[in-house]
């Protein structure tokens, strides 16, 4: 995340869930990503209790617990504070379905979860609602969240979200973005789920 400019300092967080136990591994609170070691990762149960690890878990633990609870299809979560995604989040502007790679993996627009104090149940509840059946959400005045069936997919979602946010903002300078037809968005997302890659 640091290398790709998706976070600054120690902000943002990552988790991955174990399919058998429902436990998930979560990054610790306030630690430099470049200095993290395996023993710094915290293991959390589905209720949000620490079951292994010596570090304090990320302050956004409620966000991860809530998403996993409501989305059994999701096995990894990446929360970023990237520049262009956060710009859209601070402006209260959803990223419309304007780029084919984004809609394939996300399933449509990247919608806004209304503002709530970071680290609270409010952020978690708003994010779950705005995610609905999609794979990315913007947290108003905060940042972005990408989810997926694995960490690689969740990270790719965040990369494409940031690229698409940049395209969207730049397109506003030259007359606005053309939105993809809703039917095409559905077809592309279904294709991604069923046929994309070496399945």
The question of whether 60 is a catalytic residue gets the answer yes
State which H helix or E strand residue 163 sits in: helix 151-172
Rounded-to-integer distance, Cα 161 and Cα 133, Å: 16
Q: What is the DSSP letter of 116?
A: -
The H or E element containing residue 172 is helix 151-172
CA distance 178 to 160: 18
The single residue of 39, 47, 60, 162 carrying the catalytic annotation is 60
Q: Give the contacts of 39 (CB within 8 A, at least 6 positions apart).
A: 53, 54
Task: Please list the active-site residues.
Answer: 60
């Amino acid at each position: 995340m640091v290398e790709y400019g998706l976070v600054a300092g120690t902000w943002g967080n990552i988790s991955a869930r174990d399919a058998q136990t429902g436990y998930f591994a979560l990054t610790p609170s306030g630690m430099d990503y470049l200095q993290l070691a395996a023993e710094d990762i915290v293991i959390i149960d589905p209720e949000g209790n620490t079951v292994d690890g010596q570090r304090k878990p990320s302050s956004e633990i409620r966000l991860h617990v809530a998403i996993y609870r409501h989305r059994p299809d999701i096995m990894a979560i990446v929360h970023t504070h990237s520049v262009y995604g956060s710009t859209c989040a601070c402006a209260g502007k959803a990223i419309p379905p304007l780029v084919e790679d984004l809609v394939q993996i996300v399933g449509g627009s990247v919608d806004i979860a209304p503002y709530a104090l970071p680290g609270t149940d409010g952020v978690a509840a708003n994010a779950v609602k705005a995610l609905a059946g999609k794979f990315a959400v913007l947290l108003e005045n905060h940042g972005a969240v990408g989810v997926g069936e694995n960490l690689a997919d969740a990270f790719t979602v965040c990369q494409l979200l940031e690229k698409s946010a940049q395209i969207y903002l730049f397109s506003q300078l030259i007359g606005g973005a053309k939105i993809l037809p809703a039917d095409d968005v559905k077809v592309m997302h279904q294709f991604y789920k069923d046929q994309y890659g070496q399945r």
